[in-house]
Amino acid sequence: MALTTRNADKRMQILEATIRVLRERGLSGLKVEDVARAAEVGKGTVYLYFRDKQDLLRALVEYRTLSFYRDAEALVKAAKPFRERLRDLLSRRLEFIDEWRGLWAAVAAEAVKEDKESWLKGLHERYQAILEDFVEGGIRDGELRADLEVRLVAATLAALGCAPQLDFPREAFLDQLVEVWVKGVGA
Contact footprint for its own copies (CB under 8 A): 26-28, 101-110, 120-121, 124-125, 128, 149, 151-153, 155-156, 158-168, 172-173, 176-177, 179-185
Q: Which residues pair with 186 in a beta bridge?
A: 144
Among the candidate windows 2-10, 63-71, 92-100, 112-120, which touches DNA by CB under 7 A?
2-10
Which is closer to DNA, CB of 6 or CB of 124? 6
> What DSSP string describes 4-50?
HHHHHHHHHHHHHHHHHHHHHH-STT--HHHHHHHTTS-HHHHHHHS
The partner in contact with residue 69, picked from its own copies, DNA, none with C-beta cut-offs of 5 to 8 angstroms by kind, is none
> What's the CA gap between 175 and 181, in Å, rounded?
10
Which is closer to its own copies, CB of 9 or CB of 170? 170
For the CB of residue 49, give the shortest distance to DNA in the complex, in Å: 7
Which is closer to DNA, CB of 7 or CB of 176? 7
Q: Draw the binding track, 20-49, toward DNA (x: CB under 7 A; -: no contact).
A: --------x-xxxx--x----xxxxx-xx-
Phi then psi dihedrals of residue 99, to 5 deg = -55, -35
For the CB of residue 69, give the shortest distance to its own copies in the complex, in Å: 14
